[in-house]
Structure 1
Amino acid sequence: MTVKQYKETWDLDSIFPGGSESPQFAAHLQEVDKVITELSEQISSMKIPNDGSQSNELVSVLSTFQTAAKKVRQAGAFVSCLEAQNTKDIKAKAHRSRVTALSASLQTALSELDEKLTQINETVWENLLSANGLSEIAYILNERRRRATEKLSVKEEKLINSLAIDGYHAWGNLYDTIVSSIRISFESDEGISKEYSAGQAANVFSSGNRNRREKMFSKWQQAWDEKSEFFATALNHLAGFRLQVYKERGWNSVLQEPLDINRMSSQTLDAMWEAITAHKAVFVKYLNRKATLLGQDKLAWYDLGAPIASAESKVTYQEAAEFIIDQFAKFGPEMASFSKKAFEESWIEAEDRDGKRPGGFCTSFPESEQSRIFMTFSGSASNVSTLAHELGHAFHGFAMRDVHPLNRNYAMNVAETASTFAEMIVADAAVKHATDEEERLALLEDKIQRSVAFYMNIHARFLFETRFYEERKQGVVSTERLNDLMVEAQKEAYVDALSEYDPTFWSSKLHFYITGVPFYNFPYTFGYLFSLGIYARALESGAEFEDQYIALLKDTASMTVEDLANKHLGVDLTQREFWESAVKVTVTDVEEFLKLTEK
């Protein structure tokens, strides 16, 4: 049987034909504007119900809200794809400004809705939620109502949203513009000097040639350092805007918003980091052993992603796709057939070419009921893991296709649960299917690298950002101080196990500049460890677990993570016990690695 050859470039024309010049997309933006205007007018004219039976008006407003939210998300996803596939697409940047403005208009309208929700008498409110099917979205409505009481007046929140377009969000857009201009001159594997984009340059750090990694690291540092003043200005103003808003709202902790967005408590966050910190010693042993295997006293930052095998194992995109589908099939038919559809219908942009932005992501198109995945595939084991990771995100959206539209807005921490769960299925299978001990060791080490990333790299980001915000309260933080804060955080997170760190990491990591979600770091580690708990259940239950898994995914946007874990796993996330058990699963990988490399 002939296996279909999968394209390495995605199909965006089936969404809006013509790319950034698409007349259909231009028409869509006009339609978005129209629907938001309609929503705003409906909200303005909506009377405050004084009787539980007076719910028709509210139901109508919520229906328009659903439509507007889906259209804005569709537009935002398309622009994200345009910007990622070609960082020089000027028209896409113009579209981004338009979508940002539309998103702000939607938030302004919703601020007025939220205020009206707070004015409804508690008894009437309870009666409203039990009428006309609103009980299905009671959690979301109660959440909006509560959050509204913690913010400023509608007039003030409208002003914030309006000023954010050319203030807060503009700084994030400026960062993207600067990154798109970065070019790093470096010799290719064939010895030919060429210009690397940031995304292409980052792949060199997984090279088996240490001299090559070290040289790229020097060039990398230079490239980000040359523009560090621009990045420092953007980061300071992003943080300054956020802090001023928090101050006006009376919020004392910079973690209040990110924790609320992720629907988790500070007790859960603390328990997670405490469990990780308690088990870091064994991961330091791994780092030291890897240094020995690479002929070094200590690893440098640019050695963390280096392969330990003498020969780098490369796989084609086709081989990666077939392997992922096969392994997903062993977990359950839904996940496998969905992923096959994604490959067959060209939902994935994986081509290794110049002009793409670094990193990877998955974005959903709610009106089209599709997703698109972005990455740069160069044939490494890490690339295969990334591909599986992003397919996990896409499957999460697919699993929620029958859920009420207002119950689909899941937070980043549970989003990362689905992605890392998919990644784990493939990573475990890769180790088991290794053809010899050297390949098995290399794949096992690739798994451990991800644990180190979640326990140490992400922890460093969290420590840096927490401390940076505290210093930013006192005034602008200089480039030199940002470098110092970054290295201090990395040394603490890695238990000072490295010989050299990355002081410019704060400028090269996109996550610090994302305006949609503050503290885009700890949810990754949450998702990783939470997925370990789910994965353990999957191993115990076999193929029949897929239905339970899908049921869990469907609930991810309509309850707190503590309630989600209690309902589907029977565990208490505010206690260290669950997190300890999850970390110990990954400790076994390190113990096996240390045993295999004793010689």
Structure 2
Amino acid sequence: MQIAHPVRDANAPAGTDGLGNLPEWDLSDLYPSPDGPEFAADMERLEALCTSFAADYAGRLDTLDAAGLLRAVERDEELSIIAGRLMSYAGLRYYQNTMDSDRAKFMADAQDRITTMTAQLVFWSLELNRIEDGKLEAMFAENAALARYRPIFERLRAMKPHQLSNELEQFLHDQSAVGAAAWNRLFDETIAGLEFTIDGEPRPLEATLDLLSEQDRSKRESAAREIARVFGENVRTFARVHNTLAKEKEIEDRWRKMPSPQTGRHLANHVEPEVVEALRNAVVAAYPKLSHRYYALKAKWLGLDRLQVWDRNAPLPMESDRKVAWDEAKATVLDAYAGFDPKMAEIAAPFFEKGWIDAGVKPGKAPGAFAHPTVSTVHPYVMLNYLGKPRDVMTLAHELGHGVHQVLAADQGEHLSSTPLTLAETASVFGEMLTFRALLEKAETKQERRVMLAGKVEDMINTVVRQIAFYDFECKLHDARREGELTPDDINALWMSVQAESLGPVFDFMEGYEVFWAYIPHFVHSPFYVYAYAFGDGLVNALYAVYEEGDADFQAKYFEMLKAGGSKHHKALLAPFGLDASDPAFWDKGLSMISGMIDELEAMED
């Protein structure tokens, strides 16, 4: 079991620059301490339960009646909760300081031990898939409590054509700790150990990336060139990681008879390949009216004929560099949530009050941001690297949206609360939109409104256009790897093949930008994850359009959608709103919101 939304390293003291008292995690709701009796007792308990589960059910699932199968499912859910709790604690401690060798060892040892003990459970999904369809349907008809788990059986059975023999599945399970998981850890620790020098001062990656949104263009250029230098010096390591993981995936996909490298992700996301293809095609077709048009405007605002890569996230000349203190960020997001529905703010408030957020930038801490759901019997934890920029406020709104979603879905239980990635971004992006709209309403001048609209358009381009370009890069990389080993130059060329197409003709690309693929964590941790961001943004834009149209029952239907977790397909979840993601026009509806904001920005030029 791995931590959701894996990210990278950042350093710098917390609570500086007038940001206020930034919160830290209190992980005691999971376990009081790593060496306490509670963690050890749960590890022992898990081992005993795995052994008894295998003894009771291996080789005889097809002999169970409906009540017996229900009991087996409930016991499997109990195992998942214990294992998830153990690994959540070990993983979250590790991400607080990835450079701490004791924390790294603690997580690795826990993962190894759990991998070993859960090897006894490999039979479970394999034997479930061998139960005849008619027999399973009859058991569903007989037992409503069992029928509630139908979505779990459907997802398992979607993998039925791709499952291997018990022995091969056992082998893949046993070697996982020294396969992808080991390469993931090498990537994380390599990233965490990199040092970037700006003006003679050493910086970690997160703080260096932050300079790419500085007002001073020379600082942005220095940061971009230093990132290129450091990653250029380490590109062979990152190329090895990508080559190995892509080849490992190709081998497993071939054995499983997966028709494409993306198939496994689509199955996990419970989304049809044609829906993803419709999304991808709609976004690529919209590049000219979205990113190309916006960045041409941005060049004009910056007084430049051409943009360099270090100008992509540059603030506008009229934009304030005021830092947003933590208490103000908290109030901004909670007020926006309450403006939608007080219940949403009530669910979010404990994150601030009970140690469920870790916000400061600290030595060795993983960079970026994520919301980890832990298990359905505890609560989520949110990680941020808060530097006080307006985008950091939006990140808080985003991750808190995940947290609200995870809290609401927890009532479904461990197996049904987990939301496919394509739907997991719904509440997070919606939370951002609520916060943005609340702030936009308060804009007092045309200039202030322009800055806010431009910032939102950039965020949406980064979420939609950029992530689809990333998806295309991954598709090309995995296709190319099937033909043989890829040199760093090969990977660089694939990266550059999607950059000009997605960003537009106004951009020049400095020497060294070709290695910027090296630090994108999703390529390593979760292949083909990235399209879920574009899916979620398009879905939320369409949802928000329905909200703005004045659906009187919108809030109630929205909360019901979040409460459903992973218990319903995207078609069933969107039907109450009159939306259908399998309709190509659905994506155009979402993209039109972005182009409409660019229309308004262009009109301000008159």
- 1:415-445 CA distance string (max 9 Å, x none): 0111111111111222221243333222111
* Per-residue deviation, 1:258: 0.9
**Residue equivalent to 1:591:** 599
The correspondence for 2:98, drawn from 82, 87, 90, is: 87
One-letter amino acid matched to 1:9: E
One of 219, 226, 242 as aligned partner of 1:219: 226
Query: 2:424 aligned to 408, 415, 430, which one?
Result: 415
Does the alignment pair 1:383 with 2:392? Answer: yes
Which residue type is aligned with residue 545 of structure 2? Answer: A
Kept after mapping to 1: 8 A contact 2:376/2:413 = no
1:560-589: CA deviation from partner (whole Å, max 9, x where unpaired):
323433x33233322221111111011111
User: Using the alignment, how far apart are the partners of 2:49 and 2:262 within structure 1?
Assistant: 34
- 1:391 CA displacement: 0.4
Q: Which residue of 1 aligns with 2:23?
A: 8
* Offset, 1:102: 5.1
| Structure 1: distance between partners of 2:453 and 2:120 | 50
State the partner residue of 1:36: 50
Q: How has the CA–CA distance of structure 1 residues 25 and 437 changed in structure 2, closer, same or farther, with 3 Å as cutoff?
A: farther
8 Å Cα contact 2:283-2:468 kept in structure 1: no
Q: Corresponding residue for 2:67?
A: 56
* 1:312 lines up with 2:321 in the alignment: yes
Counterpart-to-counterpart distance in 2, 1:499 and 1:512: 25
Amino acid corresponding to residue 461 of structure 1 in structure 2: F
Deviation at 1:136, TM superposition (A): 0.7
Hey, what's the Cα distance between the residues in 1 that align with 2:170 and 2:487? 32
Question: Does the Cα contact within 8 Å between 1:224 and 1:504 map onto a contact in 2?
Answer: yes
Take 2:417 and 2:496, find their aligned partners in 1: how far apart are those partners?
A: 38
> Which of 184, 199, 203 is residue 196 of structure 1 equivalent to?
203
CA contact (8 A) 2:282 2:587 kept: yes
Q: Is the alpha carbon distance of 1:26 and 1:185 closer, same or farther for their aligned partners in structure 2, counting shifts above 3 Å? A: farther
Residue correspondence of structure 1 range 565-580 to structure 2 within 5 A: 565=574, 567-580=575-588
The DSSP-based 3-state class of the residue aligned with 1:130 is: helix
Aligned to 1:231: 238
1:272 partnered with 2:300: no
Cα distance in structure 1, aligned partners of 2:170 and 2:345 = 45
- TM-score by length of structure 2 reads 0.91
Partner amino acid for 2:153?
L
SS at match of 1:400: helix
Residue 45 of structure 1 and its aligned partner are, at CA, apart by 5.7
Residues 396/312 of structure 1: CA separation in 2 closer, same or farther (3 Å cut): same
Q: Distance in 2 between matches of 1:412 and 1:220?
A: 30
Q: Distance in 2 between matches of 1:574 and 1:519?
A: 19
Q: Secondary structure at the match of 1:157?
A: helix
Query: Contact 1:360–1:376 at 8 Å: present in 2 too?
Result: yes
Task: Give the letter aligned to residue 416 of structure 1.
Answer: E
In 2: Cα distance, 1:455 partner to 1:36 partner: 42
RMSD in angstroms over aligned alpha carbons?
2.1
- TM-score by length of structure 1 reads 0.92
- Structure 1 residue 510 corresponds to structure 2 residue 511: no
CA distance in 2, matches of 1:296, 1:443: 21
CA distance in 2 between counterparts of 1:214 and 1:264 reads 41
The yes-or-no answer on 1:285 pairing with 2:300 is: no
Give the C-alpha shift of residue 278 in structure 1.
Answer: 2.8
Indicate if the aligned counterparts of 2:359 and 2:386 stay in contact, CA closer than 8 A. Answer: yes
**1:101-250 to 2 correspondence within 5 Å?**
101=112, 104-105=115-116, 108-132=119-143, 133-187=145-199, 193-250=200-257
1:77 aligned residue: 88
SS at match of 1:195: strand
Moved over 6 A (4+): none
Query: Residue by residue, what CA displacement relative to the aligned partner does 1:519-551 show, whole Å, maximum 9, x if unpaired?
Result: 111011001110112222223347852221111
CA contact (8 A) 2:59 2:127 kept: no
Contact 1:36 1:105 in 2 (8 A): no
Q: Which has the higher contact order (CA 8 A, sep 6+)?
A: 2
CA distance in 2 between partners of 1:59 and 1:129 (Å)? 10
Give the conservation status (yes or no) of the 8 Å contact 2:376–2:410. no
User: Aligned AA for 1:444?
Assistant: L
Q: Deviations over 1:245-272 (max 9, x none)?
A: 1111122311111111111112111221
Is 2:459 the counterpart of 1:450? yes
Change (3 A) 1:279 1:507: same
Alpha-carbon distance between aligned partners in 2 of 1:104 and 1:560, rounded to the nearest angstrom: 30
Q: Which amino acid aligns with 1:437?
A: K
Q: 1:294 aligns with which of 302, 323, 330?
A: 302
CA contact (8 A) 1:175 1:234 kept: yes
CA distance 1:223–1:347, shift in 2 (3 Å): same
Task: Evaluate the alpha carbon distance shift between residue 129 and residue 111 of structure 1 in structure 2; reply closer, same or farther with a 3 A threshold.
Answer: farther
SS of aligned partner of 1:48: helix
Q: State the alpha-carbon separation in 1 of the partners of residues 447 and 48 from structure 2.
A: 60
The Cα of 1:238 is off from its aligned counterpart by 0.7
Q: Is the 8 A contact 2:295 2:504 kept in 1?
A: no
Match of 2:375 among 362, 366, 378: 366
Aligned residue type for 2:333: I
**Aligned equivalents of 1:543, 1:228: Cα separation in 2:** 54
Correspondence 1:68 to 2:79: yes
SS at match of 2:218: helix
Distance 2:501 2:50 in 1: 47
Once the two structures are superposed, the pairs formed by residues 321-332 of structure 1 within 5 Å of their partners are: 321-332=330-341
Secondary structure (helix, strand or coil) at the match of 2:514 reads coil
Q: Report SS of the residue matched to 1:306.
A: coil
Secondary structure of the equivalent of 2:451? helix
Change (3 A) 1:445 1:33: farther
Q: Separation in 1 of the partners of 2:135 and 2:284?
A: 48
Mark the CA change 1:280 to 1:146 in structure 2 (over 3 Å): closer, same or farther: closer
CA distance in 1 between partners of 2:391 and 2:164 (Å): 45
Percent identity (aligned): 23
Output one character per residue of 1:96-135: Cα deviation in whole Å (capped at 9) or x when no partner: 3234335645764554112222332333211222334111
Question: Are the aligned partners of 1:196 and 1:354 in contact in 2 as well (CA < 8 Å)?
Answer: no
Alignment partners' CA distance in 1, 2:118 and 2:552: 42
Cα offset for 1:359? 0.8
Tell me the equivalent position of 1:97.
Answer: 108
Alignment CA distance shift 1:103-1:246 (3 Å): farther
- In structure 1, list runs of 5 or more residues that go unmatched: 188-192
Seen in structure 2, the aligned counterparts of structure 1 residues 345 and 435 have a Cα distance that, compared at 3 Å, is: farther
Q: C-alpha deviations, 1:359-393, integer Å up to 9, x for none? A: 11000222652111111111111000100000011
| CA 559–310 in structure 1, closer or farther in 2 if over 3 Å, else same | closer
Q: Which amino acid aligns with 2:128?
A: L
Counterparts of 1:414 and 1:110 in 2: how far apart (Å)? 28
Counterparts of 2:256 and 2:94 in 1: how far apart (Å)? 34
CA distance in 2, matches of 1:122, 1:368: 32
Q: Is the 8 A contact 2:129 2:156 kept in 1?
A: no
Alpha-carbon deviation of 1:68?
Answer: 1.4
For residue 48 of structure 1, what is the amino acid of its counterpart?
D
State the distance in 2 between where 1:455 and 1:47 align. 44
Moved more, 475-484 or 111-120: 111-120
Q: Distance in 2 between matches of 1:305 and 1:30?
A: 50
* Contact 1:8-1:317 at 8 Å conserved across structures: no
Q: Give the partner amino acid of 1:217.
A: A
Deviation (angstroms), 1:15 = 2.8
Segment drifting more, 548-557 vs 91-100: 91-100
What SS does the aligned partner of 1:475 have?
Answer: coil
**Are 2:507 and 1:521 aligned?**
no
How many corresponding residue pairs? 582
